[in-house]
Amino acid sequence: MTKVEQSAAGVIALSGELLFGTIMAVRAEVETLLSKQTGQCLLDFSEVTRVDSSALALWLACCRLAARNNLELTAINIPSDMAAIADLVGVDGALRHA
């Protein structure tokens, strides 16, 4: 089961699988929480167990929302599979800069 929660002030924690079948619901939850943030925010992937390319699409959508809201967003504990996908498609820099 995929979960999204505000684990601490300025930290949004994701857990479970980030796959095509679940990503739209996850995205809606993350965007709702992001829209309530100010200043700096961390998106914590430490409890994510499995990803596909939709996880990267989620991150990029979050980056766009953060930019529109003048929010400094940082991804932490990025799954190795997600980093590999980003590297494969040439957007690995997007995981470091938001």
Domain boundaries, given as residue ranges, for the chain: 3-95
Provide the strand spans (E) within the chain: 3-8, 11-18, 40-51, 72-76
pLDDT tens-digit series, residues 33-77:
999 999 999 999 999 999 999 999 999 999 999 999 999 999 999
Evaluate if pTM is beyond 0.75.
yes
What's the rounded Cα separation, in Å, for the pair 36 and 17?
A: 24
Q: For domain 3-95, give the fold.
A: Transcription Regulator spoIIAA (3.30.750)
Q: In what order do the strands lie in the sheet with 72-76?
A: 3-8, 11-18, 40-51, 72-76
pLDDT computed for residue 95 by the predictor: 80
- Identify whether the C-beta of residue 30 lies closer than 8 Å to the C-beta of residue 43: yes
> Is the pLDDT at 29 greater than 70, yes or no?
yes
- Pick the range with the lowest mean pLDDT from 27-31, 52-56, 71-75, 87-91: 87-91
